[in-house]
Amino acid sequence: MLRREKRIMSILIKLLPPFKKPGTRGEFTVNLSAVITSPADLASFIADSLAEELAYPVFDNRGNLNADFLLNGSPLLNSDHIDDGSHIMVIPLICGG
């Protein structure tokens, strides 16, 4: 569940394939008024706020994440804080090894 923040932050979200629709830049500046405490919270926010812009869902039909996130170029960790002006990149979740 997302908690509301007292202030609104503006962040840039860049969707990479397969999340970006063909022929679009896939970059969106959005206002964030919720506290993001995990990558799953961020995925929920993106699924709700950019639903019409997504070419591929960030969650599969079982509720598992299909996406991973970079925060200002580094992997997003549970301990990271998203600040005003942050850049989020949505990339495919790569499984296996």
pLDDT in tens, 16-67: 999 999 999 999 999 988 778 788 889 999 999 999 999 999 999 999 999 9
Q: What pLDDT does 94 receive? A: 77
Give the whole-angstrom CA distance, residue 43 versus residue 36.
10
In order of their start, the domains of the chain are 3-92 (3.10.20.30)
Token look-up 């495919």 returns: 92
Q: What pLDDT does 97 receive? A: 40
Chain centroid to Cα 40, Å, comes to: 9
Pairing of strands 87-92, 3-15: parallel
Reduce the DSSP state of residue 16 to 3 states and report it: coil
Q: What pLDDT does 29 receive? A: 96
